[in-house]
Structures are given as C-alpha cells and as structure tokens.
Chains A and B, each alone.
Chain A
Amino acid sequence: SQQGEEDPQALSIQEGENATMNCSYKTSINNLQWYRQNSGRGLVHLILIRSNEREKHSGRLRVTLDTSKKSSSLLITASRAADTASYFCATVPTGGGNKLTFGTGTQLKVEL
C-alpha cells in the first residue's frame, strides 16, 4: 500500500449529516494537508496540520493528527450537497521539502 491511503474509498451521506474520512501514512512527516477536488477541476487546499499539532479547525472542518498511529481524520460537520467531491490527504515527509505524497482519495457524495 502507498503513503497516504484514505478510508473509506467512497462515502454517501444525507445533507446535514457529518462525514468522517481517515488517512493513514507510513513515514515520519513534517505536515499533512487535506485537499478537495471537484470532478474535472483542480485541488482546493483545505487545511495544513503540522506534526506537532493534534487538531485544527476551519469552519465546518475539523482535522486531527495522531503521529503515533500515523493517521489523520477529516470531519465535515453539517454536510451540504456542495461538499460532494473527492477528498485527498497528502503528506510532506520529514526532510522532504515540500514534496507531497497523495493518497487515492475518498469520494464523498452528499445527497439532498
């Protein structure tokens, strides 16, 4: 398996529900970043969390990082249909400059 694997691969929820996506990685990291990608579009940066941080919030987004388990989670609260997209985690390894390693992503579908 590769660095930065998301789980689940696909998630379908109703509008208003919370969505949780998980990411696991293998090597020591400097930071971990979450991105959103709408179909046929570029990546939108959501949150960067550094290795010495455990939790960060941005609006309806909450990201946690557990370096002992080499895992991160992205929680989207009160989801909206507009949140439908693919979500990727990407890691920057320790000493690895800014070279991102992406997982395969979670496809989130929020239904009305």
Chain B
Amino acid sequence: NAGVMQNPRHLVRRRGQEARLRCSPMKGHSHVYWYRQLPEEGLKFMVYLQKENIIDESGMPKERFSAEFPKEGPSILRIQQVVRGDSAAYFCASSAGGDRGGNTIYFGEGSWLTVV
C-alpha cells in the first residue's frame, strides 16, 4: 500500500516561471492537505481539499498560488511567477476522513522548490 506520493522531489525554477507540484494521496484517502516548510521552521498549513472541492484555503497566499484536487488524478499545487521567497519544501498529506478531527494524517516526502 503506497504512501502519499509527491513529485517532483526537487524542482528548480527561475524567477517568473511556474511551478507545479503533484500529490497522490494514500489509497482510500479522499482528504488532501498542502503544507509549506521554510528552512529551519515548522510546517505551515496552506490548503485543505477534497475531491473537486477546496475546504479551507486560509493558509494560501492571496496571489500566485492555487490548488486543485480533481475527480481524477493527483492534487496539484501551482505557483505562478515564482519568486525567491517561494523557495521551500512543500509537503502534501492525506487522511481518510476530515470532519471529526480524529484521523491520522500521513505525509509525503515533500517537493523541494528552489527559485534561482
């Protein structure tokens, strides 16, 4: 049973380019979360999605960032016109349920974005 799969593991982009990070949740999980980790810091919540729905995007920057979790395929975190400050590790997580708050949340290995 594969865990949370993220790709790419490492991504280098020039300023102004677009970054697309993909996440496939664990089998049977329908709840997906994205977190960002800056160097030497803890993880910060970005967005919580279910299939075709954004449940909570309170941690997403207002501009340039978007996320989706289509009916078919992986969840995508998209960063447009990247800037150096976007350099970070982006972690995807998934869980079987969401509403009751008692579900273990499993994390992927992360996607390390470097903006040069």
Q: Real complex partners, A and B?
A: yes
Q: Tell whether A45 is near chain B: CB-to-CB under 8 Å.
A: yes
- Segment among A11-19, A30-38, A55-63, A66-74 that sits at the interface with chain B: A30-38
A30 touches B101 (CB 8 A): yes
A87–B4 Cα gap in the complex (Å)? 20
* 0 or 1 for each of A79-100: is its CB under 8 Å from B? (1 = yes): 0000000001010101111111
Q: Does B63 contact A (CB under 8 A)?
A: no
CB-CB nearest in chain B for A47: B104
Q: How far is the CB of A40 from chain B (nearest CB, A)?
A: 8
Q: Is B105 an interface residue (CB 8 A)?
A: yes
Interface size on A, residues (CB 8 A): 28
Q: Are B108 and A42 in contact (CB under 8 A)?
A: yes
- 23 CB contacts below 8 A, A to B, read A31-B102, A33-B105, A40-B112, A41-B109, A42-B91, A42-B107, A42-B109, A42-B110, A43-B43, A43-B91, A43-B107, A88-B42, A96-B101, A97-B48, A97-B56, A98-B33, A98-B95, A98-B101, A98-B105, A99-B33, A99-B48, A100-B93, A102-B35
